[in-house]
Structure 1
Amino acid sequence: MVGEIKSKMKRNIMKDFGLRKHFGLRKLAILGLMCGTFSGIVPGQLQAQADFDKPFYPETVKFNAAIPKPATMIGHPLGHRVARNDLLVRYLTDVANISDRVTSEVIAYSHEGRPIVMLTITSPENHARIDDIREAHNALRGKDAPASIPDDMPVVTWLNYGVHGAEVSSTDAVLPVVYHLAAAEGPEIEKTLKKSVILVIASFNPDGSSRQSAWNHMHGADVPVTNPDHRLHNTFWPGGRTNHYWFDLNRQWLLLQHPEAKGWVEKFHQWRPNINADYHEMATDKTYYFHPGAADRTHPLIPQKSMALLDKVADRPRAFMDGEQRLYFSEEGYDNFYLGKGSTYPHVHGTVGVLFEQAHSDGFKDSDYGVVSFRDNIRTHYRTSLEIVRAGVELRPELLKFQKSFGAETRELAAKDKVKGYIFAAPKDPARIYHALDLLNRHQIAVKRTTKDVTVNKKLFRAGQSYLVETNQAQYRLIKGLFGKITTFENNTFYDVSGWTLPLAFDLDYAEVSGKNIAGEILGTPKPVAAPVPEKAGSGYLFSWHNYYAPKALYRLQNAGYLPRVATKPFEIETAEGIQKMDRGSIMVPVGRQGGHSDQDLHKIMTQIAQEDGVKIHSVGSVHTPTQGMDLGSLSFSVLKAPKVLLLTGEGIASYDAGEVWHLLDKRMKMPVTMIDKQNLAKINLANFTHVILVGGNHKDLKGKVADQINNWVKQGGTLVAHRQGAKWAYDSLLADKKDAKKDAKKEAADKTSTAPERLLYGDKVMNEVQDIIGGAVMAGDLDITHPIGYGVSDRDIASHRNTLLAFDAPKNPYATVVRIKENALLSGYASEKNQKKLAGKTMLLAERHGKGSVVLFTDNPNFRAYFYGTNKLFMNSLFFSKVFDKPRKAK
């Protein structure tokens, strides 16, 4: 039997991939050995090889010989290796150049400069009128939609592959899909192309895909190894899942902080497809999943009609899977709640989003269901992709009708809503406002700038500095999703975060508007604000710390060799514009004594800061100020040294957390970050750094000499900044009173043994356990804005992202709590009342001096998904102002 399988597999490789012509028999033999199809077969692999033996392409379909098969470009059969991203892109563009059914365009470039290619596939006749089709398609949602849907209007189906680079079959499946749509012949494909416009994005995440492909090629072997512990199946940290900065791009549809997501969301809004299919992989010991997800975990803004249509669309892949006697599941495990995922974002735009997940394999890999084959995985995603295209054609009238009714029903919902808009402002920070406006614009949400002062809920919003998003517009549902707050849920289980309210994340002043007609002017495309060129100063230059990019400006000065200082008290200055009030955290750069830099050089760099960083610069002619007792030479100005940052990375470190720090410092603030694997820490001379950043993860390995190394370095003057589990390690290892810790442990043990444990039904286990979680919620904190770590924030209310119960009891140092968690702290998302009570009054952000150094601990993540612009400020303060505060004086 094994011999028959070997022989048949060899024939199918030649048949399926057309390799005889392109490689010759000698190379075929080599490929066979490398693929492991002709040697090393063991009985445990028979099912995987039987799957491998299935014809890849439908045997009933004839293909145009002028269209090359994928193997001719990628250099190996599908499933033999992960396709190199550059060769995958080249194949797709080659097909577009050959076929009159296919056109290609680059819609974005990744951080590493790789193109993200989108293909438009339809009949030549449709291509000739493609702009008219798109215009008519989008008009269906508008107020002036035609009374009836034109008979010749195609359905628009969008197939998305490879948002997670490590989910390799979700990338490589694009190759046979495109080949099939370009090369298949006969009445069925002609009808499909006439009735459809099929949009294909080949690789959402080319940087991650390239990392994963390189790993796969590097560990390729003649004989496949199915052991899950084999090095091939355990990618290096951080793996290929994420993009260049280690972000999960499938969470970026709503947040739009990376070029990849900006590109594909722009293209999504150009087309607003009827179906959006998103292809993924999951754990190896699972079967195959596709939407619909758990019915009681659907966001309330998603129409029930959309979910009903989703169920009909899923009938096609169900039929295929049943026909091949394959196991699959739906309606559990995954959901449609977080609006920022590729399969959920579409549903608030009248598009049916479908998630596909299958068991992971990047070769042959053991699983609870037998050996999983990479080739078979590619084939399965390819075949279900064809079924989604077929579903679009078969359900075309219903999908187009839903598209039309979606627009009308959305307008009705907006008219009935008592909330008529959201007004917001950040009067001291034009940069944060710009980023908020840019995000809204990319989501095609119209914004007005107010032209008159208005007071809402006793809060004054100034004319020209405030912005209004009215709910009565086409993007009503998404507006509610971005500005609304949901704190009660039918099911408290979440696949992802449960709260993401934009004005809370951006720390904006905002309020709901009901029944007020607020005067305003519609904004165009927002642009970064450049501050005016400052006058040449006689004594010094000053700028506020409120601007988001003030840290970037400060580091620019420090890196150029200047000696800026920070104000620890508010004061006033006399400028050409009159008296200006300056808050704590304001930066002062004296003209004199700047290490040989000329006045002209200093004015030049201050001009660059104003124009490139958008930070307003104040020029002063005298050291004397109108503030009594505080001139510019005051003791209330502290000298600042440039931070030299070490970010711990590698195994045990949460790569998302580390990537968020790297992205903030490198991409936004233009600050260098030295990244060293945690396991190599003992070899590093920490004296070369001012700051060490330890983010979330598992830090049990930081003990003994390594823990002592960090402790001694801090005591000698270093600053440790830690987040989440990193903060817990730092507190326990550096700050905790060992005697108190032992007492607390004994008390906790006594509490556990004082009463008999309650008996619970196992069937209630899942629902009981979700009561003890925090589902990625937004929580309120009380910020000490007089503390240096709180500089640059206008008021004491601060919101942060939280998904753990980690928080500190009030420290003995009464000044060490920078952010205290409020009573009833939940602002948006899920946290049980029990957990809110546990957190109330505890410390979220702790700043202590430790010897000559400092320890700054965030129990939340201040840089979450590059979206929490508000708490970004606190993190940057921990780098620049960690030595500006002192220990409390001991009583004499």
Structure 2
Amino acid sequence: MLLIRILIISFTLLCATLLSAMPVQDYLPKSSQLNSAIPLPSSSLGFEIGQRHVRYDQLKSYFHLLAESSERVNITSMGKTAQHRDQLLVTISSPKNLANLTKILSERDLLSAQKNQLKKQKSADAPLVIWLGYSVHGDEISGANAAMVVAYYLAANNEEKMTELLANTVIVLEPSMNPDGMDRFVNWVSTYRNSTDNNDANHMEHHQGWISGRTNHFWFDLNRDWLLLSQQESQQRLKYFHQYQPHVIGDFHEMSHNSSYFFQPGIPSRTHPLTPKRNIELTKILATFHAAAFDKQQRLYYSEENFDDFYYGKGSTYPDVNGSIGLLFEQASARGMQQQGLNGLVTLEFGIKNHVTTSLSTINGAWQNRQQLKQYRSDFYRQSTKLAKKENFSGYLLHEDKDTYRLNAFLDKLAQHKINVYPLSADFEFQDKKYPKGSSYYVPLAQAQFRLIQALFNQQKDFEDNTFYDVSGWTMPLAMNIESKKVKRTRGLKLAKQAWSKPTIDTASNTIEPAYAYVFEWHHFLAPKLLNNLLAQQVKAKVATKPFTSLINGNRKHFAAGSIVIPAGIQQSKNWQANLQSASNDVGIIVHHINTGLTIKGVDIGSSSFKLINQAKTLLLGGAGISQYEAGQIRFYLDETLNIPLSIIDHSKLGRVDLSRYSHIILVDGNYKHVTEETAEQLTQWVKRGGVIIGQKRAALWLAKQEILRTRFVKKEEINDLFDHDNLSYQDKESLASRKRIAGAIFQVELDTSHPLAYGYQQKLLPVFRNSNLIMEHPQQPFVTVARYTPKPLLSGYTDKNLVNRLAHNAAIVAHNVGKGRVIATTEVLAFRGYWYGSAKLLANSLFFSKVFSTPYK
């Protein structure tokens, strides 16, 4: 009897819950005529949309069920995420269009379109293409839920106007642009969600742990990676983006629970100057459709505030430099099921409803303005050649003769962006310098992607509006430290007929034969990976602290300081030569044979100037208050790129860890105020006993406060004193604040290339990235500064002249002894967003060569 009563009560509660949830029809226009044969999301999920959070596997299952049930829906896997989830691309159109999709896409190919000069009739007859991308930030989950509702509506709608629309339109959905982050968030919310509704903003459900669901597996913000392409999700997506070449792309996000709803155009003065004015006009036209839809429902919204269209690496801005209209949508977030905000109760259902509304208003607005959108895309690419002719130069000359991996990585990014790069077929003299074929390339401006080339190579420093939502400088050749020169005239420049394409395999063909010693050079980007792999297999290696010259196959070969020597006479492990051959071939680095310890010039192989290297045992501190982005960048570079093992712990647990197990500890930007005095003292003693500590940005400042780092930082009061505060009105407040910050710009530093931490760098001048106004004073003691700012350091992006002048001549990287240990500090982001190859190697040098230098601080 008791069991029956319990079952009755449970069933009653379940019915009450189901009744309180919104059926899919309630998210859609009331007049919708829907095909009952098309399965509702609830038939697959087992619950209504918005009733609980959907896992990615559940979302994926529904879309596959939808594709099986409807001739309008096609599913494509773009590839796998790092955690092996499918990246789904859902194409919705008429059965006829789906049957002819390959032909439709081939006619949209950018290069074919350019070759055919974008014939007006062909463009006008081609289908309208709309791309809707949801929840690139995995914890902005209303988008992924809305995607299911939108897909169901497009598949089930029986109205004649929908049939007509789909006959002339291809609609592409990315239901979840970040599957790994999505599931991280859903697991968190599902763990802490109460059975009873709770809208308390302080409830743990709304406050994720470290790491949040916003980021992907490697803790990267995928909505900043469209241009940079460091992450596999972005690379896989871009391939399909350029196949479909959408006319309009919608990018669906969430923001603070105290907000309402935002749609573009955003702040007009903060649009990138390369974006055509017609783009803004069309965005405003589409905005009227969103406004009308929300007016009908009496829902709050706003536009032309907060957000901008400057940085081209986002889902709503990359389309703008590719002939499309990118649209950003931001919904007040429940960050769970429901949360009380300034505008009332924000629920998951409410957010889903809003994103469904703007998804449909985007489709409607694009359909009603289809001819204008098609004409815009046609004009966008037709104008490329004309715009290129207006420039005072013809293209960019690229050169890198030491590091083919870094060069090919750069060329590959350009190729993924559909930018043609041509190898030189003969040596070229330019500005009193010889650019040899084989290591030199040319990027002509006169091609379809003219605007994108300028966006990637531009070094703009002056702007109409100096307030930026994201970075203001991202110049790719500077980031990857590739020489790039503007070429005015191409007379004498001979090029290959075919554009560069990615080599099939980048490997060396080393055959390790008996020799006195072996040596490889450190300038190669993957040299740290090779060294680490050898050390992990107990192969003993030394670094040259002075240059030397040896005979290699009868020819003189100069080796710079930083070259890695593997003497045969000190090896003890079995099969070490086979391991050397295999490891070097895997990374594509040539290993030279040395048959005598006596060198032609410089130090001999048995000299004490060759220092034995130990494998680094590295610890990275994370946890609440620590930048997940910078931690992710360090992790991605060391672990994923170089295969260097990296242990990560919460900094609150540092005091309970046996630090003697580690040789290096890395601290990225963050708040370390919760590290106790006792733990800080333990850390200090660890360094003094021989540990190496590396601090980036505010972590470096914290090390200075602990007197581990002996460097003075410019105080906030000193920064404020750089600016005139007199005669300012209240409306100047935002402008002044933007002048005092560095949102993200590129600066030039001068490296001490003789310092072990700068091994592998041939040129003294190096571009670095910074996104804070934290300034280290140049130490008066010699040999402490590894890199310092040049007299005129700003290379690209915006920074107020007062800050630029204050940065000039000051330190960017410092390093010195602390007892038997070392401290290394920087105010830069050395591995910024995974594409900053130029300065990333300084991190590897800090692991392998930290005990090679000695600079006691007096």
- TM-score normalised to structure 2 length: 0.95
* Alpha-carbon distance in structure 1 between the residues aligned to 2:156 and 2:355: 18
After TM superposition, the structure 1 = structure 2 runs for residues 669-708 of structure 1, keeping only pairs within 5 Å, are 669-708=642-681
* Alpha-carbon distance in structure 1 between the residues aligned to 2:258 and 2:737: 23
For 1:542, the equivalent position in structure 2 comes to 519
Q: Structure 1 stretch 413-422 or stretch 201-210: which is displaced more?
A: 413-422
Please, which of 166, 169, 175 is the counterpart of residue 202 of structure 1?
Answer: 175
* Alpha-carbon distance in structure 2 between the residues aligned to 1:754 and 1:312: 43
* Alpha-carbon distance in structure 1 between the residues aligned to 2:455 and 2:753: 30
* Alpha-carbon distance in structure 2 between the residues aligned to 1:94 and 1:194: 22
Please, which of 610, 631, 637 is the counterpart of residue 637 of structure 1?
Answer: 610
* Alpha-carbon distance in structure 1 between the residues aligned to 2:679 and 2:778: 28
Distance 1:29 1:242, change over 3 A: farther
* Alpha-carbon distance in structure 2 between the residues aligned to 1:53 and 1:107: 28
Count residues in correspondence: 846
**Aligned letter for 1:820?**
R
Question: What SS does structure 2 have at the residue aligned with 1:556?
Answer: helix
Q: CA deviation at 1:525?
A: 2.8
* Alpha-carbon distance in structure 2 between the residues aligned to 1:753 and 1:695: 28
Q: Structure 1 stretch 415-424 or stretch 389-398: which is displaced more?
A: 415-424
Unpaired runs of at least 5, structure 1 = 1-23, 39-48
* Alpha-carbon distance in structure 2 between the residues aligned to 1:25 and 1:865: 55
* Alpha-carbon distance in structure 1 between the residues aligned to 2:122 and 2:735: 46
Matched, 1:823 2:791: yes
Distance 1:370 1:464, change over 3 A: same
Q: Structure 1 stretch 201-210 or stretch 768-777: which is displaced more?
A: 768-777
For 2:254, the equivalent position in structure 1 comes to 281
Q: Structure 1 stretch 847-856 or stretch 760-769: which is displaced more?
A: 760-769
Q: Deviations over 1:786-810 (max 9, x none)?
A: 1011000110010111111212112
- TM-score normalised to structure 1 length: 0.92
* Alpha-carbon distance in structure 1 between the residues aligned to 2:444 and 2:579: 41
**Aligned letter for 1:519?**
K
| Cα contact 1:34–1:222 (8 A) shared by 2 | no
Q: Deviations over 1:255-278 (max 9, x none)?
A: 111110011111000111000000
Question: What SS does structure 2 have at the residue aligned with 1:545?
Answer: coil
Q: CA deviation at 1:293?
A: 1.4
For 2:484, the equivalent position in structure 1 comes to 510
Distance 1:693 1:97, change over 3 A: same
Q: CA deviation at 1:423?
A: 1.4
* Alpha-carbon distance in structure 2 between the residues aligned to 1:213 and 1:391: 33
Q: CA deviation at 1:363?
A: 0.9
Please, which of 717, 730, 733 is the counterpart of residue 690 of structure 2?
Answer: 717
Q: CA deviation at 1:732?
A: 2.3
* Alpha-carbon distance in structure 1 between the residues aligned to 2:461 and 2:532: 40
Q: CA deviation at 1:526?
A: 3.6
Distance 1:449 1:142, change over 3 A: closer
For 1:664, the equivalent position in structure 2 comes to 637
Please, which of 276, 279, 300 is the counterpart of residue 327 of structure 1?
Answer: 300
Distance 1:756 1:662, change over 3 A: closer
* Alpha-carbon distance in structure 1 between the residues aligned to 2:790 and 2:337: 51
* Alpha-carbon distance in structure 1 between the residues aligned to 2:42 and 2:445: 51
Q: Deviations over 1:55-81 (max 9, x none)?
A: 323221121122111122223221122
For 1:134, the equivalent position in structure 2 comes to 105
Distance 1:711 1:415, change over 3 A: same
Distance 1:447 1:685, change over 3 A: same
| Cα contact 2:619–2:648 (8 A) shared by 1 | yes
Question: What SS does structure 2 have at the residue aligned with 1:399?
Answer: helix
* Alpha-carbon distance in structure 2 between the residues aligned to 1:753 and 1:398: 52
For 2:548, the equivalent position in structure 1 comes to 571
For 1:144, the equivalent position in structure 2 comes to 117
For 2:777, the equivalent position in structure 1 comes to 809
| Cα contact 2:767–2:839 (8 A) shared by 1 | yes
Question: What SS does structure 2 have at the residue aligned with 1:734?
Answer: coil
After TM superposition, the structure 1 = structure 2 runs for residues 393-404 of structure 1, keeping only pairs within 5 Å, are 393-404=367-378
* Alpha-carbon distance in structure 2 between the residues aligned to 1:410 and 1:504: 24
Q: CA deviation at 1:737?
A: 6.0
Please, which of 827, 833, 839 is the counterpart of residue 865 of structure 1?
Answer: 833
* Alpha-carbon distance in structure 2 between the residues aligned to 1:889 and 1:395: 68
| Cα contact 2:704–2:710 (8 A) shared by 1 | no
Question: What SS does structure 2 have at the residue aligned with 1:222?
Answer: coil
Q: Structure 1 stretch 695-704 or stretch 493-502: which is displaced more?
A: 695-704
After TM superposition, the structure 1 = structure 2 runs for residues 466-865 of structure 1, keeping only pairs within 5 Å, are 466-517=440-491, 518-521=493-496, 522-576=499-553, 578-597=555-574, 601-628=575-602, 630-735=603-708, 758-865=726-833
| Cα contact 2:249–2:325 (8 A) shared by 1 | yes
Q: Deviations over 1:611-649 (max 9, x none)?
A: 211111101111111114x11111110111100000111
| Cα contact 2:78–2:88 (8 A) shared by 1 | yes
For 2:69, the equivalent position in structure 1 comes to 98
Q: CA deviation at 1:527?
A: 4.1
For 1:45, the equivalent position in structure 2 comes to none
| Cα contact 2:619–2:666 (8 A) shared by 1 | yes
**Aligned letter for 1:860?**
E
Matched, 1:81 2:52: yes
Distance 1:566 1:393, change over 3 A: same
Identity score, percent: 34
**Aligned letter for 2:95?**
P
* Alpha-carbon distance in structure 1 between the residues aligned to 2:724 and 2:561: 54
Q: CA deviation at 1:402?
A: 1.1
Distance 1:698 1:749, change over 3 A: closer
For 1:15, the equivalent position in structure 2 comes to none
| Cα contact 2:138–2:214 (8 A) shared by 1 | yes
Matched, 1:300 2:273: yes
For 1:411, the equivalent position in structure 2 comes to 385
Question: What SS does structure 2 have at the residue aligned with 1:857?
Answer: strand
Q: CA deviation at 1:222?
A: 2.1
* Alpha-carbon distance in structure 2 between the residues aligned to 1:755 and 1:140: 52
| Cα contact 1:154–1:396 (8 A) shared by 2 | no
Q: CA deviation at 1:851?
A: 0.5
Please, which of 418, 425, 436 is the counterpart of residue 444 of structure 1?
Answer: 418
For 1:221, the equivalent position in structure 2 comes to 194
Matched, 1:424 2:401: no
| Cα contact 1:456–1:511 (8 A) shared by 2 | no
Question: What SS does structure 1 have at the residue aligned with 2:339?
Answer: strand
* Alpha-carbon distance in structure 2 between the residues aligned to 1:825 and 1:270: 40
| Cα contact 2:118–2:382 (8 A) shared by 1 | no
Q: CA deviation at 1:451?
A: 2.4
| Cα contact 1:34–1:223 (8 A) shared by 2 | no
Please, which of 223, 240, 243 is the counterpart of residue 213 of structure 2?
Answer: 240
**Aligned letter for 1:163?**
V
Question: What SS does structure 1 have at the residue aligned with 2:227?
Answer: helix
For 2:4, the equivalent position in structure 1 comes to none
Q: CA deviation at 1:703?
A: 3.9
Question: What SS does structure 2 have at the residue aligned with 1:433?
Answer: helix
Q: CA deviation at 1:391?
A: 1.4
* Alpha-carbon distance in structure 2 between the residues aligned to 1:704 and 1:527: 54
Q: CA deviation at 1:34?
A: 5.7
* Alpha-carbon distance in structure 1 between the residues aligned to 2:64 and 2:430: 54
Q: CA deviation at 1:477?
A: 0.8
| Cα contact 1:253–1:261 (8 A) shared by 2 | yes
Please, which of 140, 151, 155 is the counterpart of residue 178 of structure 1?
Answer: 151
Q: CA deviation at 1:170?
A: 1.6
| Cα contact 2:23–2:48 (8 A) shared by 1 | no
* Alpha-carbon distance in structure 1 between the residues aligned to 2:522 and 2:378: 49
Q: Deviations over 1:402-421 (max 9, x none)?
A: 11111111121012222211
* Alpha-carbon distance in structure 1 between the residues aligned to 2:719 and 2:393: 48
Q: Deviations over 1:536-555 (max 9, x none)?
A: 14111100000000000000
Matched, 1:886 2:854: yes
For 1:6, the equivalent position in structure 2 comes to none
**Aligned letter for 1:715?**
K
* Alpha-carbon distance in structure 1 between the residues aligned to 2:123 and 2:376: 14
* Alpha-carbon distance in structure 1 between the residues aligned to 2:722 and 2:816: 36
Question: What SS does structure 2 have at the residue aligned with 1:573?
Answer: strand
